[in-house]
């Protein structure tokens, strides 16, 4: 099965991204989404992935269980394009990025995920700058870190 959209999602108390010293996106409580796209991805893949992200319940309820979505938790998203999620180090010591989509494919899908996340969850989706050198600062809350892959959206759930 081909690789698909991937993300590392971190629950944070605050986060920001800078490009050339300027803050391009900042949030308080919420989720930082490091997002990678590969060649086979389509707008439909990006849409399903955004739906999955928007529906995550990773904030604690009154009983201390992860059962609350981002909107109910009063959070926002900070989404950063991250082609290095497709770095392959199986051969040698230098990563190969041949599985990462070129910018002409990746950027529109990254933008689609960002737009849909905000619309579906009803919260802000701050962003980095696609293709730029970025400095990302965050305070992981929990820590809670999840790895999502759109291949998992198509796999049957275990009983």
Point out the catalytic residue in the list 10, 49, 83, 98.
83
Point out the catalytic residue in the list 84, 97, 98, 145.
84
Four-residue CA torsion sign, 88, 157, 115, 22: negative
Work out the angle at residue 128's Cα, subtended by the Cα atoms of residues 132 and 77, and round it to the nearest 5 degrees: 160
Query: Per DSSP, which regions of 5-75 are E strands?
Result: 6-19, 22-27, 30-36, 57-60, 66-69
Point out the catalytic residue in the list 10, 38, 45, 82.
82
98 catalytically annotated: no
* Contact predicate 113/48, CB 8 Å: no
For 153, other C-beta atoms within 10 Å of its C-beta total 14
84 catalytically annotated: yes
82 catalytically annotated: yes
- State how far the Cα of 72 lies from the Cα of 66, in Å rounded to an integer: 12
Q: Would you name the residues annotated as active-site residues?
A: 82-84
């Amino acid at each position: 099965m081909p690789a698909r959209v991937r993300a590392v999602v971190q629950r944070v108390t605050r986060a920001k991204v800078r490009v050339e010293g300027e803050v391009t996106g900042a949030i308080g409580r919420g989720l930082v989404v490091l997002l990678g796209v590969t060649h086979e991805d389509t707008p439909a893949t990006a849409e399903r992935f955004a739906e999955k992200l928007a529906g995550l319940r990773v904030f604690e309820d009154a009983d201390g269980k992860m059962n609350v979505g981002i909107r109910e938790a009063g959070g926002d998203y900070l989404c950063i394009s991250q082609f290095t999620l497709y770095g392959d180090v199986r051969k040698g010591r230098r990563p190969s990025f041949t599985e990462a989509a070129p910018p002409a494919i990746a950027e529109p899908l990254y933008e689609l995920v960002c737009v849909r996340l905000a619309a579906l969850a009803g919260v802000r989706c701050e962003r980095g700058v696609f293709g730029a050198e970025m400095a990302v600062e965050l305070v992981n809350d929990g820590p809670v870190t999840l790895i999502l892959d759109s291949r998992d959206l198509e796999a049957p759930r275990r009983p």
